[in-house]
Each structure stands twice: as structure tokens, then as C-alpha cells.
Amino acid sequence: MLAPLQTGAARFSSYLLSRARKVLGSHLFSPCGVPEFCSISTRKLAAHSFGASMAAMMSFPPQRYHYFLVLDFEATCDKPQIHPQEIIEFPILKLNGRTMEIESTFHMYVQPVVHPQLTPFCTELTGIIQAMVDGQPSLQQVLERVDEWMAKEGLLDPNVKSIFVTCGDWDLKVMLPGQCQYLGLPVADYFKQWINLKKAYSFAMGCWPKNGLLDMNKGLSLQHIGRPHSGIGQSLHTSPCQLDDCKNIANIMKTLAYRGFIFKQTSKPF
């Protein structure tokens, strides 16, 4: 009798998910910009009742990708802005698309060459001090290490679908290709498609996160832990165990996935 009971339980779980989606509809993702006919009690139902159902089922709709690669650069900066900007921190979190858990981390600091001396403004904004970038590999060397890490993690296997995720389009649309062009370096194809988390959040929640991660965390009732603008958190003002921008992005993605959101590529082909 065990097998029939398990089958029945699976069918009932699928039925609960289907009914929850029909009942909650578009209110499932509406903490801001909600039509007036959507009451507070309805929104609470969407946030709590459905979340409880999902937790009970210990599952969520499968994503289109095996892995999400969360990336958040830090770069040289000043007021007024210096040109060209150069990447000084290169972090990537490998997020399992089925469990939405972090499986691996890549992190390196990068030696700037055009403006090798960090400005006080840059250190204040990023928490990165001069000693952290002095003597570090060049961008070309770091990109080679990224490729090695991607291969080691099985991400270059043509049967494995992965995509980068950024908080905005700046990292992979402006910063990396711009610096590579300046230095005469090629841009790997895997950097040419990504998911802008701000766009994904706006699709799911119905409003644009003007203040980026802070607004997204607030909209999902998540606590922002760690120092904003630090890629992995190993900076002057934070310790390695604290959450950072990349981990906040991963946490937001996990929360949206548990609520039934399916992530799709938002960048346009190069």
C-alpha cells in the first residue's frame, strides 16, 4: 500500500499547488503597486498561506537552468567619476537551480593598472583598501582563473545550462565589456547572457526596485545583512561570515523561486 499512498500524496501536492495559484493569482507577488481591490488580508494570504504550503511540499517549480551564477563587481570610482573604471573585486556564487542553495564560490581581487591607487571615495563606498588590490592578478589573469573554475565546476559542459545573474545590467553590459575592449581582451560567450535581478523582481512583484537590493529585501520581508557594495563581504568593514551583495541576491532569488517564480534571461543577444 506504500507506493499507492505516495502516488496519492504527490497528486494531492500538485493539486494544492494548482489550487493555490488559481486562488492567489496575480496577488502572489504584489507587496507594492497593488491594485486597491487587493486587500491587505489577501496579500497576507499570498505571503504566508502559500509560503507555508510550499514549505510543506518541500518543492517548487523547476527552473530553466541547472545553475545560476550570481555576480557583483566592485570597480574603481571617484567623484567626479574616473575613466576608465576598472574591476577590483570579482565574485561569483554558484547557485543550484533545483535547490537554490549555494554550492561553490569564486572570489578574487583584481589589480587596477590605469588608476592603480584607490581613491578615499572608492574605499569608503566598497570597503576595499589599497592593500587588498596591490600585487593581485590582472583582469586578464583573473578571467583565466574564472574559466578554469567554470571548467572545474562542470559549467562548460554543453549539457549543463547556466546563466549569470546580476543586480542591474551594468556589470555585464557596461563594465566587463568596456574594460575588456580598453585592454584588448576577448569576452567569453558565457558573459554575454544574464538575468537582471531588478527586472526579474519587477516581473514577479509588479513594481520596480528603485533602491536595488534594499527595496527587494524590503518587498520580500527579508533582512539585508552585510555591507552593500561589497561583492563577497571580505572587506575592511565586514567579516567573511557576513552576508554580502551576492548572498543577498541569492537569498532574493531563492525566495522568489519558492513563491513559484521562473527565472528567464533578460539580456538581449549581443
Chain centroid to Cα 81, Å, comes to 26
Q: Cell digits for 128?
A: 576595499
- Alpha-carbon distance values, 51 to 76, 125, 190, 264 (Å): 41, 36, 34, 22
| Residue of 124, 148, 229, 237 with catalytic role | 229
Q: What is the Cα–Cα distance from 87 to 73, expressed in whole angstroms? A: 6
Is 144 marked active-site? no
Q: Cell digits for 194?
A: 544574464
Q: Buried b / exposed e across 140-176, counting CB within 10 Å, b at 16+?
A: eebbeebeebbeebebeeeeeebbbbbbbbebbbebb
Q: Cell digits for 166?
A: 546580476
| Residue of 74, 86, 89, 153 with catalytic role | 74
Residue 154 identity (one-letter amino acid): G
Identify the bridge partners of residue 43 per DSSP, sorted by sequence position. Answer: none
Q: What sign has the CA pseudo-torsion 218, 220, 225, 230?
A: negative
CA angle 65, 225, 163 (to 5 degrees): 15
Q: What is the Cα–Cα distance from 231 to 244, expressed in whole angstroms? A: 6
Residue located via cell numbers 504550503: 53
Is 74 marked active-site? yes
Are 172 and 166 in contact by the 8 Å Cβ rule? The answer is: yes
Active site residues: 74, 229
